[in-house]
């Protein structure tokens, strides 16, 4: 009987590992679009900064970003 209990314990541990891996994969798939959007926004922000810099503007872009401008008051 104890061998069977040890086998069950090992089986449960293996299933828990599989469940953890499946949860991680699910979370990654569920948030993939959000991560892509965040990366695209960062790239767009950098492109805007670079373009403003090329046009001769300095850090004025930070004032139009509500997440940054609150610190400047």
Mean pLDDT of 20-34: 96
Q: How many domains does the chain fold into?
A: 1
Residue 65 confidence class, pLDDT cut points 50, 70, 90: low
CA distance 27 to 10: 26
Average pLDDT of the chain is: 85
17 half-sphere exposure, CB direction, 13 A CA radius: 6
* Mean pLDDT of all residues in 22-46: 95
| 57 confidence band (pLDDT: 50, 70, 90) | confident
Give whole-number Cα distances, 49 to 40, 67, 70, in Å: 14, 15, 19
pTM for the structure as a whole: 0.52
Both tokens of residue 53? 């810099």
Q: Determine the distance from the C-alpha atom of residue 4 to the mean position of all C-alpha atoms in its chain, rounded to a whole number.
A: 43
In this prediction, residue 36 carries a pLDDT of 95
Domain that holds residue 23: 2-72
């Amino acid at each position: 009987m104890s061998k069977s209990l040890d086998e069950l314990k090992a089986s449960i541990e293996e299933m828990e590992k599989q469940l953890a891996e499946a949860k991680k994969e699910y979370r990654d798939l569920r948030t993939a679009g959000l991560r892509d959007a965040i990366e695209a926004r960062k790239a767009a922000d950098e492109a805007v900064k670079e373009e403003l810099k090329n046009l001769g503007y300095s850090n004025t872009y930070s004032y139009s970003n509500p997440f940054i401008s609150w610190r400047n008051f």
